[in-house]
A and B are shown apart, each in its own frame.
Chain A
Amino acid sequence: MQLEDYNPTIPDAVTAYYLNTSGFEAADGRLVRLISLAAQKFISDITNDALQHCKMRGSQQSSSKTKGKDKRFTLTMEDLTPVLAEYGITVKKPHYYI
């Protein structure tokens, strides 16, 4: 796996900092890129699943009307919560602050 010419979305410095806080001192820069790539893929999978949820919801509500607006998807907690539940992460956010 060649990682020298790959630039992940997360900068190396940031990833390296958070790895250092947990005791991981990266001797090779490619390790840092591998980890950032893996984390990026994880988040990307979650957001793709959330997009699927959003599209399913959108197709249920409007079938033929406003197809131009369907291209504007909004990532909401309503889509994110069931996706995270599939991954085993339970998220409960209060709707309002008391």
Chain B
Amino acid sequence: MQTMAALPTGVVEIPATVNPRRKTLASAVGGIVQESGFLYAEKAAMGTLTEMLQSLISEIGRSSKAFCEQAYRTEPVVGDVVMALIDMGISIEGLQAFRLRQNRVVIAAPAQQVDLKQHNVLQVGDKKSHPQHIPDHLPPFPDTHTYCFSHTYKQPVTEYEAIREKAAAQKRDIERALTKFAAKTSDTQNLFFTDDKEFMLVGVTPNSKSYLDALMPRDQVFEEEEERTRTKKRRMVHEEGDPNHEKDRMNETQDAELDNPYLRPVKMPRKPKVKK
């Protein structure tokens, strides 16, 4: 069914929110007009007929309700509707014949539209349920992380087993990392004759007087510091004392400084001999 616009040129149709029932009535009118044999219809004619149909239905309803109430009833009956139709001038006899006509256009009732849910693309966490005083038809709570405060730190684990396990894992990791580092930086020895890089051992630095370590047990950290402080005190004493020992002292200090690569004297680049 096609409609011809009756609006003059230049008028732009602004789409307004249309009552869906009105739309259905318009489509029903279109069906009726098509049944009669028309192929096209003017928009003004369609609008007129739709308005007529709506007011007709309302008027029949009002009139039959009035007839019903006039007979001391509240629920309308067939007789009330018949009386209303007669009162309006619509004949009843033609209705039966009209019902049994051949070509009928039936418009399907519009399907119930499902509300498109706004999908939570990112749904993290739970949503709290409504407490008792809030009715269910209200929208649900948002995710708890959006409005509930929670600490960012974790409570420390106090379980003995977990702590032991963590300590053991940490120790293992430290040992592994240290051995790897030592193998890469210092000398390595191979257990097997093949030149693999898998089973490397950290090389042992040979000590000339190996029995000293066995005879004099050393506390690793504190005894080293004591040695350093002793050497510093000796230097201070010798400065006040004989200047003859300066050379010895100088040699000693030089030896100590030479061991430390950062304290070695600067090596100037060799100047090429100018040949004349």
Query: A: which residues have CB within 8 A of B?
Result: 1, 6-15, 17-27, 30-31, 34-44, 46-48, 50-51, 54, 71-77, 80, 84, 89, 91, 93, 96-97
The answer to whether A37 touches B98 (Cβ under 8 A) is yes
Q: Which residues from chain A contact B44 at a C-beta distance below 8 Å?
A: 77, 93
Asked if B200 is at the interface of the complex by the 8 Å CB criterion, the answer is no
Most chain A CB within a 10 A radius of its CB, from B7, B53, B94: B53
Tell me, rounded to whole Å, the shortest Cβ–Cβ distance linking A42 to chain B. 6
Interface size on B, residues (CB 8 A): 56
Residue contacts A-B, CB under 8 angstroms, 26 given: A9-B105, A9-B106, A11-B28, A13-B21, A13-B109, A18-B21, A18-B61, A19-B58, A19-B60, A22-B58, A23-B61, A23-B65, A35-B81, A40-B98, A42-B56, A43-B56, A51-B37, A51-B38, A72-B39, A73-B37, A74-B38, A75-B38, A77-B44, A77-B45, A84-B48, A93-B44
Complex Cα distance A80/B31, Å?
17
Q: Which residues of B contact A18 (CB under 8 A)?
A: 21, 54, 57-58, 61
Q: Is B32 touching A43 in the complex (CB atoms < 8 A)?
A: yes
A15 touches B57 (CB 8 A): yes
Q: Is the CB of B25 within 8 A of A10?
A: yes
B76 touches A51 (CB 8 A): no
The reply to whether B31 and A47 contact each other, CB–CB distance below 8 Å, is no
Inter-chain contact A75/B42, CB cutoff 8 Å = yes
Smallest beta-carbon distance B60→chain A, Å: 5
Which residues 69-101 of B sit at the A interface, judged by CB distance below 8 A?
Answer: 75-76, 78, 81, 85, 90, 94-96, 98-99
Given contacts A9-B105, A35-B81, A97-B11, contact A75 B45 (CB under 8 A): yes
Whether B29 and A42, one on each chain, are in contact in the complex, defined by CB atoms closer than 8 angstroms, is no
- Does B49 touch A at the CB level, under 8 Å? yes
CA separation between A5 and B65, bound complex, in Å?
26
- Taking a contact as CB atoms under 8 Å apart, the answer to whether B95 and A38 are in contact is yes
A34 to B56, CA, bound (A): 13
* Structural contact, A31 and B32, CB atoms closer than 8 A: no
Contacts A9-B32, A24-B76, A91-B48; is A42 near B90 (CB within 8 Å)?
A: yes
Contacts A13-B109, A74-B41; is A27 near B52 (CB within 8 Å)?
Answer: no
Contact of B109 with A11 in the complex, beta carbons under 8 Å: yes
Evaluate contact between A1 and B33: CB separation under 8 angstroms. no
B107 and A11 contacting across the interface, CB-CB below 8 Å: yes
